[in-house]
Amino acid sequence: MAKQARKTKRKRRGVWIGVLVATVVAIAGITALLSSDDKKPVTVADLVITDVEVGTGDAAVVGDTLAVHYVGTLLDGGTEFDSNQDPDEPYSFVLGAGNVIQGWDQGLVGVQAGGTRQLDIPASLGYGETGSGDIIKPGDSLRFVIEVVSITPAPVPVPAPTPCPEADGSSARETAFEEAPPMCIDETKTYTATIVTNLGELTVTLDAAKAPLTVNNFVVLSRYHFYDGLNCHRIPLDFVAQCGDPAGNGNGGPGYEFADELPADGEYKIGSIVMANSGPDTNGSQFFIVTGNRGITLPPNYSLFGEVTEGIETTLNAIALTADETNTSEAPTTPVIIESITITES
């Protein structure tokens, strides 16, 4: 079940898979070298970095989110194996978070928005002795030409202890936290979430009696407007709609994790709202809503904290219909965006 309802850590376009950046020392060394001569190739541990065009603004650092266009080819022979030139949907990732190959995580430190950087990446910083797909063979070195569309600085986390947000929704938006929130809800009250999406509204009744930690987390993040503007990045056919990742690719979260509150076997149903995770007690901000029969049969390894009570036949059905009918991709065929979440209590 690890490949289904969890924080998605899968390849992008059949090629991308990340490993953690090698060392902070190596990153610092790359930054220092690049500052000496922007367009002169720099070699660091067999990684060759060339700024084809220098951008403007602050240099990218670990934790920033980069949006890029790119072309990837084999260094030997020049065969193209992947690219993204879509002006409306550049590829986005968090630098240094292990979302991409090491050659990217190391080689894009110091790049500036609007710049174009060429990376000649040895196999040890690419796909090693395993290769990837039909084109990248074991031991292949790679060349990427990467145009940096934008750089979004890493958010400054709310310092611990996290204050409870205002119940009327007037708190400023926050997207990162140093630690999980304290108990801000009254477990004797009933909490309802109105989730407004670009495809309509969902009314969700939250179960604070059964899952107080999880409901509290969802209420706090919603009242901090954490979810506003985030997409539902994963909608497999006849399964679930997974949302709540600030990175937009399944690897993001609020900066903390908290414990499970697991249901009994057989409790999931169409409209159940459930936490996504990457293993026991790794809950954060990502959640999913069960949209199909495959979701109903999930094992009880994911915290169940409420259910859709209005909008199943309309909005939830519209969301489910964005799934790829060929079942070859888990990404929705059209964007599904959370515009806002409003919490009421009674």
Report, as residue numbers or ranges, the catalytic residues.
Answer: 70, 81-82, 101, 127, 144
Question: Within 13 Å and on the Cβ side, how many CA atoms surround 174?
Answer: 25
Q: Is the Cα dihedral 196, 199, 201, 205 positive or negative?
A: negative
The closest alpha carbon to 340, from 225, 259, 246, belongs to 225
The residues with which 83 forms a beta bridge, in sequence order, are 71
Structure tokens at 194: 């109105």
Phi-psi region of 225 (alpha: psi -120 to 50; beta: other; left: phi over 0): left
What is the C-alpha to C-alpha distance for residues 216 and 198, in angstroms, rounded to an integer? 25
Structure tokens at 295: 């979701």
Backbone angles phi, psi at 284, to 5 degrees: -140, -100
Contact call for residues 279 and 238 (beta carbons, < 8 A): no
Q: Is the Cα dihedral 23, 24, 25, 30 positive or negative?
A: positive
